[in-house]
């Protein structure tokens, strides 16, 4: 969800105003994804590197997540949306932790769409935490090193049970992964859109999905037609 700061700067507003407008784009995108039949929507709301931002901006982003859960949780639950949060929890304050757990608990049996919020998330950090937990399981004798494979490691990631993303949409014209879902994005399609996140709306979402739909995914294999032709 990139471009909040630039959106605000262009209007002579503080960066935090961009994040506030960004929450409206979150609401619109959640709705658009649900209507489009998306089963899993993951939003990168705060990265493990975002702690390097000015304290005022960090406080504002924490406040926006709290406000979002307080204001929108009942509606998301009514819409049968299941909320999951990925990312490290150690640095988060008690209030935010409580709200995240409440959102996950309340919606745990919902099934219309999974809304995954990546908060204090970094792909490398996730892999390191998973490796630690895996090593602990080996230490306790619950897992043999011979049985460590992609499947067993995946089960220790924050995203355990969540399918790998088909597509990652990055807004604002930046063309990088920025430590997002590093392990899970092995075969993901990337769609980069020039729109700044606060301006991202249903039509921008559908344009991105159309671009994804035009891609041919091969997962390291050759196209079916080439197999048929024997080429």
Among all residues, whose Cβ is closest to ligand FPP?
A: 5
Please tell me the total number of residues recorded for the chain in this structure.
231
Task: Report the alpha-carbon distance of residue 11 to residue 171 in Å, rounded.
Answer: 18
Residues 192-231 that bind ligand FPP (CB under 6 A): none
Say whether residue 68 binds ligand FPP (CB under 6 A). yes
| 109 a catalytic residue | no
Q: How far apart are CA 218 and CA 27, in angstroms?
A: 33
Q: Which of 38, 65, 116, 168 binds ligand FPP (CB under 6 A)?
A: 65
Q: Scanning the structure block, which residue is given the tokens 């392990």?
A: 183
In the complex, least distance from residue 65 CB atom to ligand FPP, rounded to whole angstroms: 5
How many helices (DSSP H) and strands (DSSP E) are in the chain? 8, 5
Check binding of 50 to ligand FPP (CB under 6 A): yes
Q: Cα Rg for the chain, rounded, in angstroms?
A: 19
Residue 84 interacting with ligand FPP (CB under 6 A): no
- Asked whether position 41 contacts ligand FPP by CB under 6 A, the answer is no
Check residue 22 for interaction with ligand FPP (CB under 6 A).
yes
- Angle at CA of residue 74, ends 68 and 76, nearest 5°: 75
2 noted as active-site residue: yes
Do residues 185 and 177 make contact, with C-beta atoms less than 8 angstroms apart? Answer: yes
Which residue lies nearer to ligand FPP by CB, 43 or 143? Answer: 43
Strands (E), the chain: 40-47, 81-86, 113-121, 167-170, 189-192
Please select the residue that binds ligand FPP; options are 1, 130, 168, 193, rule is CB under 6 A. Answer: 1
Q: Is 11 annotated as a binding residue?
A: no
57 versus 138: smaller Cβ distance to ligand FPP: 57
116 binds ligand FPP (CB under 6 A): no
54 Rama class: left (phi>0) / alpha (psi -120 to 50) / beta: beta
Rounded CA separation 28/89 (Å): 27
- Residue 96 — φ and ψ, nearest 5°? -65, -40
Asked if residue 117 binds ligand FPP (CB under 6 A), the reply is yes
Size of the site for ligand FPP (CB under 6 A): 20
Q: Residues annotated as binding site?
A: 2-7, 15, 19, 47-49, 51, 53, 170, 176-178, 189
Residues of this chain that interact with ligand FPP (CB under 6 A) are 1-6, 15, 19, 22-23, 26, 43, 45, 50, 61, 64-65, 68, 117, 172
Catalytic residues: 2, 50
Q: Residues annotated as binding site for Mg(2+)?
A: 2, 189
């Amino acid at each position: 969800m990139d471009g909040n700061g630039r959106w605000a700067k262009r209007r002579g507003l503080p960066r935090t105003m961009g994040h506030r407008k960004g929450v409206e784009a979150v609401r619109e995108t959640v709705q658009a994804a649900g209507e489009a039949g998306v089963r899993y929507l993951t939003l990168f709301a705060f990265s493990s590197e975002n702690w390097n931002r000015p304290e005022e901006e960090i406080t504002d982003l924490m406040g926006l997540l709290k406000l979002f859960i307080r204001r929108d949780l009942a509606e998301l639950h009514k819409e049968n949306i299941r909320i999951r949060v990925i990312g490290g929890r150690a640095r988060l304050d008690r209030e935010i932790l409580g709200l995240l757990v409440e959102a996950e608990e309340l919606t745990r049996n919902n099934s219309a769409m999974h809304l995954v919020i990546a908060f204090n998330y970094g792909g490398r950090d996730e892999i390191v935490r998973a490796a630690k937990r895996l090593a602990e399981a080996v230490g306790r004798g619950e897992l043999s090193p011979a049985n460590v494979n992609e499947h067993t490691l995946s089960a220790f990631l924050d995203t355990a049970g969540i399918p790998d993303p088909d597509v990652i949409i990055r807004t604002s014209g930046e063309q990088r992964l920025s430590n997002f879902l590093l392990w899970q994005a092995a075969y993901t399609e990337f769609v980069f859109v020039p729109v700044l996140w606060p301006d991202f709306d249903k039509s921008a979402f559908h344009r991105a999905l159309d671009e994804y739909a035009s891609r041919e995914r091969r997962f390291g294999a050759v196209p079916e037609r080439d197999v048929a032709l024997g080429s």
